[in-house]
Structure 1
Amino acid sequence: MEMEQPAPIDDDSVPIFLAVSGFFQALCLIKLLHIAIRNRDRVASWFRSLALRSRWLVMCFSDDVKTNAEEEQWIAREVCLIRLRLARGYSYFLLIATCASVVSVQLGILQETQANAPAAFYWTILLMFVLCTVHLLFPKMLQRTTLDMFYVAIMAAAAFLLSPLCTNADGVPYMSIILLAFLRLPASSFASRASIAFTSNIATAAVVVIRAFVDWDAALCQSGSCSISRDVYFERAAIVTEVSAFFLVAGVSLSAEVILRRTVQQGRQYRQLNASTSLLRLACDAVLELDEDLCLTEHSPELAAILLRDRPGSSLAGVPFTDFVATKEEAARAEQALNKMSFEDLSASAFSTRLVDTNSSKFCTELLQVKYCKMGNTVRHLIGLREITDQESLARPKGLDATFHGDADDSSVSCPYKLLSSAEASPVGLAQEGSRCMSVKSLEGNRPRPIIYMILDMQSCTVGGASLAAASLVGMNVSELFPGRASELLQGFWEEVDRCEDASEVAVLTQKQRFFSEWLVQWSPQQADFIDGFVQVLQDADGTHQLLLHCVASARSPLSLSGISDSGRSTGARPSPSTAAQALSVLPGMPLPDVQSLH
């Protein structure tokens, strides 16, 4: 029983079909135009980015594009190496596919059941198998210089397989789809230039178009040995298939160029970022990452320890970095400094500001910033925090300073990173302009100075021990030795030690040094002086804690009671720096020591 052929669309239904299809095509086109107009900036940016990523399009349409020649050569070389790895992997895949086809042909010959295909088809498959086998035996034959030759050979094989010598007319659309999936699309990823991919696929498309309009099959086919079915449907199917395949291959080729270039750039940026992170970890006390809103992307244990926020279960992730800055004015300046730089790849800067911990203690900090862009154009700030109270700034002398020198409550600070000035320690109210950070070098000076150590028993508020040069101070009351604000700061520091001891967190304090500068010290009723130094927490064998003071002569001139009036202001003249360096040696009943340097 002969099956009836399916009937085409009848004449009465043709207008309905055309009207419905045209209506929805118009709706689709209008919607696409609306989306393109609404997102015209993004569409233009995408096309501009695509053009800049493809060297072929750059040369054709972008004469004014400025690129770094050395960087462009490096990127092109790295992209070519990736394409070479892709080509080698594809060659191994093609070896397996052609080997399976050759085995199938061999079995057909042995069983005398060959498929109805021209002999040239089998010889072409065998030739591709031989080419892949040679590459397997000699892998170095496929190099950067021969990469395009390998691609052209693959495309030539695809065009020949679509010719009348290998494929009958009725099988061209199906063969075109098979070659698109197994040859043309995978191979387009390792063509070194988009122009080569376009040219090779134009040649393949030309073969299909010529076959659609020129009847070569009847002349090549022996009478009675083959059945050829050519009609208008074949022509339409062949052309639509080939046009779609051409644009698909062109899109894959351009996309591969963009993806590979971005992969190379992101890989280089990742290596640079790792190097920057390692360098920051060597030079800084804490390294953290901020997002484009200047919020921490993840918890930083180092920063939490510095700010005394390392409570169990607490996290700094998502907290704005400006919340840790001492004042609103400094926070605004720090935010401006962090967002000031424009970047193309990686950019770095440094500035100083002040942070505040949970005890409202402010301390000077230098921020080393690396601003970069992650995958997806996400802005990130890699920040290194470096405390500059006990070390010099790494930034250049004219670096950006985000500190605010008019902080009114700066005198209430007592922390491991803050310098305590004489304005808050002196009972005479000597004026100081703002707070200053001091380095260890400033403690030492240009010449050796006498050093005094004192152990303060804060339970009894007395001097529990001292260097031999200051042995007469043992047993003296702390409030008498440090009159005014200095004793209050020491008492506040001791209360902080008690709080940390109750919370079993005294180790946080023992790791830090509390620096001070220009503290007024009353050696005797007739003798006063200014000293610089730092305070540490000591622990006895029985587990009790005391304070250790390391004192050197301040750069400020020594004072005597005769030089201080009843109003609390000094009336004496400032001596020379050489006199100030010997001020600490003038202790009750002690001669000037013979200061020598250790070599």
Structure 2
Amino acid sequence: MGTDDVVLMLVGATLVCLMLLRLIVLVFFHAPAICRTLRRWLTQLLLPLNPRKKSAEELRLADEIQRVRLALSHRALALYATLSWVIMAAAVVNIFLESPRYLNMEATWLFLALMATLTVYAFLPWTLCRHTLDFWYALFTLVTLLYASPWCTPVARSFDALLLCIFVRLPSSIMATRTLWVVVGNSLVSLLIILRNSIDPGGESELEGNSFAISLVIGIEFSSFFLAVVFAAALTGWMWQRAELGRENSKISSDLSAVSMLLRLMSDAVVELDQDLRLQRHSPELSAMLLRDRPGSSLEGVRFTEFVYGSEAARAAELLQNPACVLSTGQGTSAHAFHTRLVDTFTNKVCIEVFHVQVLSSDGEVRHLLGLRDFTDSASLSGERATDAMDQSLPSPMSPASLDQSPVASHLLPEVMEGWPSQTSSSWRPQEEPPRGRQAFLEVDMEVKVVHSASASVAFLAGSALTDFFTAPHTVQLLQRICDEAQRGLDQEGTLPQKVFNYQDLPVRWSAGHYGTIHGTFQVVQSRFGRIGVVISFSEPNLLSPMGRRTSKSSGRSSATSKKQRSFGTSSQPARSLRPTHARL
């Protein structure tokens, strides 16, 4: 034994040992998964012998697999027809030129019969259907057996076994509806080839009298058998996964369609955003709502936050991309609601209730379905279930720490209030100087939630319920929370916080059908009986002419009159003009 042989033997033995060690490690750590896989393959192999009744879902998947298998079989038969035409044309040319031929007369007649069958298929494609798939596979298995028999190949040749494996045994397994049929067919072919080479080992002169010939043939046949069975099983597994993926995509599309229709029933506009919060397609409803429905204009590709009021854009983006409180299925789907304000073409602010559904598309990307509802003149549908109403992650606006008189703590409550624009549909900011001009005052009793007393210009509001006066329900909730925190501060510190808070564009209802907005200040007060209330001051409204506000609706409900009225709004007057309110249809 030479030095090169020793080195080659050592390197080969090392690699074999490493692969064996890796195989042992995989079996040790993944034994349960391997057992499940083998059990599944065995179940698929013995599926015809399994008497278990299939469920409706399994029947649908099996039907989809058969559909895919039939489509692949049509392509395979088209390839076989082309290949048989080439072989037969070459045989005819050789016969005409009297040239040496590789195939004898019997093998040529066999291919001629196969070509005739494929010609019938070419003119009658319906002969290949779901019920005849196994018949076609049996036909190709029979052709393989006949070619490997002594009738067509009197002298056994190992090269023929390779040709049969590459061109017949592997591709034809596509048409087998059961892996068991592939096992049976390839077992017969391999057994015939091995027996022929064992009985007549002198077929090839270079291997004559050499036992290596039989070993080579046995190795080729075992490899061909293994490849054909694994190919059939892998193909079936791929088609099964493809059928499941198609079913999941269909279910996702159906769910998205149902969610979209539900959002359209409860919203004025429905838009779909990508993971960057850009509109996937143009929305005529949103365009009409924001008075952007000019000819040729499109909202496709525009970021949704560009429509949101400036100070609320960052918060809206955070609620869309990383909501603090959502209803989630744990599979990439979540739903929640929140409130914000949009700005139309004329810088008028529209109070919007956003119904947000986050889903994963079939390609794994995040999609956002938004239902947008104008609730300026109506109650919120989500109410306290909205994310901005349930979010308790914000600092308590009047915690003991916030009652500290330090400069930083003295501005804590206004900062928290400014972070709650959607709860009151207005902007809350601290102001050093109170608004000037004639003021109206309301004293609110938060225990019974009514206007306890009112100044002369708004005396008709005395005794009104807060839910009737404030159109946004979160306004009452916010005032109640501030009073509760003030009561806790009073119990702990003995004094009320000496702070005045400013608000702007707070929507109110003066009377039935008459709406407007107010801006001014409010402060927590204490009565002689120890009750905690709120004194609200605002500029005296002009109630001499009947005024109200018309709700902004989608394109199907918008009118040219409302657009004309909104077009008179200016940036110097952020409050929306009062217009008559019409009944919703």
Q: Compute the TM-score of the two structures, normalised by the length of structure 1.
A: 0.58
Q: Kindly indicate whether residue 13 of structure 2 is the aligned counterpart of residue 28 of structure 1.
A: no
- The answer to whether the 8 A contact 2:70-2:129 is kept is yes
Structure 1 distance, partners of 2:519, 2:278, is: 47
Structure 1 distance, partners of 2:340, 2:40, is: 43
- The answer to whether the 8 A contact 1:102-1:126 is kept is yes
- Deviation at residue 485 of structure 1 after TM alignment: 4.1
- The answer to whether the 8 A contact 1:370-1:382 is kept is yes
354, 369, 374: which is aligned to 1:365? 354
Percentage of identical aligned residues: 15
236, 243, 265: which is aligned to 1:264? 243
Structure 2 distance, partners of 1:421, 1:386, is: 23
323, 332, 341: which is aligned to 1:331? 323
Structure 1 distance, partners of 2:521, 2:142, is: 90
Look up the equivalent residue of 1:209 and give its one-letter code: I
1:494 is matched with: none
- Deviation at residue 351 of structure 1 after TM alignment: 3.1
- The answer to whether the 8 A contact 1:158-1:183 is kept is yes
1:549 is matched with: 578
Secondary structure of 2:390's match? coil
The alignment yields a C-alpha RMSD, in angstroms, of 5.6
Look up the equivalent residue of 1:538 and give its one-letter code: R
- The answer to whether the 8 A contact 2:272-2:369 is kept is yes
Deviations for 1:494-534, whole angstroms, at most 9, x for unmatched residues?
Answer: xxxxxxxxxxxxxxxxxxxxxxxx99885689x9xx99976
Deviations for 1:66-115, whole angstroms, at most 9, x for unmatched residues?
Answer: 99711111111121122112212211211111122122222222222242
Q: Kindly indicate whether residue 127 of structure 2 is the aligned counterpart of residue 99 of structure 1.
A: no
2:224 is matched with: 245
1:503 is matched with: none
- Deviation at residue 242 of structure 1 after TM alignment: 1.2
**In structure 2, do the counterparts of structure 1 residues 280 and 75 end up closer, same or farther at CA, with 3 Å as the change threshold?**
same
Deviations for 1:368-405, whole angstroms, at most 9, x for unmatched residues?
Answer: 34456x46xx5x5543122345388889x998967426
- The answer to whether the 8 A contact 2:305-2:317 is kept is no
Deviations for 1:9-53, whole angstroms, at most 9, x for unmatched residues?
Answer: x6998766544432331123224444665xx45x86587468658
**Runs of 5+ in structure 2 lacking a partner?**
282-298, 398-414, 431-439, 450-465, 476-506, 523-535, 553-561
372, 375, 379: which is aligned to 1:387? 372
Structure 2 distance, partners of 1:87, 1:297, is: 43
Structure 2 distance, partners of 1:549, 1:247, is: 82
Structure 2 distance, partners of 1:411, 1:531, is: 27
Structure 1 segment 212-231 matched on structure 2, within 5 A: 212-215=197-200, 229=208, 231=210
**In structure 2, do the counterparts of structure 1 residues 216 and 230 end up closer, same or farther at CA, with 3 Å as the change threshold?**
closer
2:137 is matched with: 151
**Runs of 5+ in structure 1 lacking a partner?**
1-9, 455-477, 487-517, 553-595
- The answer to whether the 8 A contact 1:364-1:389 is kept is yes
Structure 2 distance, partners of 1:34, 1:403, is: 54
Look up the equivalent residue of 1:331 and give its one-letter code: P
492, 513, 531: which is aligned to 1:451? 513
200, 211, 217: which is aligned to 1:232? 211
Structure 1 distance, partners of 2:116, 2:153, is: 21
Structure 1 segment 40-79 matched on structure 2, within 5 A: 40=29, 45=33, 48=36, 56-57=44-45, 59=47, 69-79=55-65
1:255 is matched with: 234
- The answer to whether the 8 A contact 1:349-1:369 is kept is yes
- The answer to whether the 8 A contact 2:270-2:372 is kept is yes
- Deviation at residue 420 of structure 1 after TM alignment: 5.1
Q: Kindly indicate whether residue 150 of structure 2 is the aligned counterpart of residue 164 of structure 1.
A: yes
- The answer to whether the 8 A contact 1:124-1:157 is kept is yes
151, 164, 170: which is aligned to 1:185? 170
Secondary structure of 2:151's match? coil
- The answer to whether the 8 A contact 2:353-2:374 is kept is yes
Structure 1 distance, partners of 2:115, 2:39, is: 37
Structure 1 distance, partners of 2:549, 2:260, is: 30
538, 541, 544: which is aligned to 2:566? 538
Structure 2 distance, partners of 1:521, 1:67, is: 77
Structure 1 distance, partners of 2:44, 2:184, is: 12
- The answer to whether the 8 A contact 1:324-1:356 is kept is no
Secondary structure of 1:484's match? strand
May I ask how many residue pairs the two structures share in their alignment? 444
**In structure 2, do the counterparts of structure 1 residues 531 and 133 end up closer, same or farther at CA, with 3 Å as the change threshold?**
closer
144, 160, 166: which is aligned to 1:175? 160
Structure 1 distance, partners of 2:537, 2:173, is: 76
Structure 2 distance, partners of 1:126, 1:402, is: 78
**In structure 2, do the counterparts of structure 1 residues 299 and 167 end up closer, same or farther at CA, with 3 Å as the change threshold?**
same
- The answer to whether the 8 A contact 1:519-1:532 is kept is no
1:484 is matched with: 520
- The answer to whether the 8 A contact 2:136-2:175 is kept is no
Q: Kindly indicate whether residue 182 of structure 2 is the aligned counterpart of residue 197 of structure 1.
A: yes
2:195 is matched with: 210
Structure 1 distance, partners of 2:384, 2:7, is: 78
Secondary structure of 1:285's match? strand
Look up the equivalent residue of 2:223 and give its one-letter code: S
Structure 2 distance, partners of 1:111, 1:333, is: 84
Higher deviation after alignment, 155-164 or 69-78: 155-164
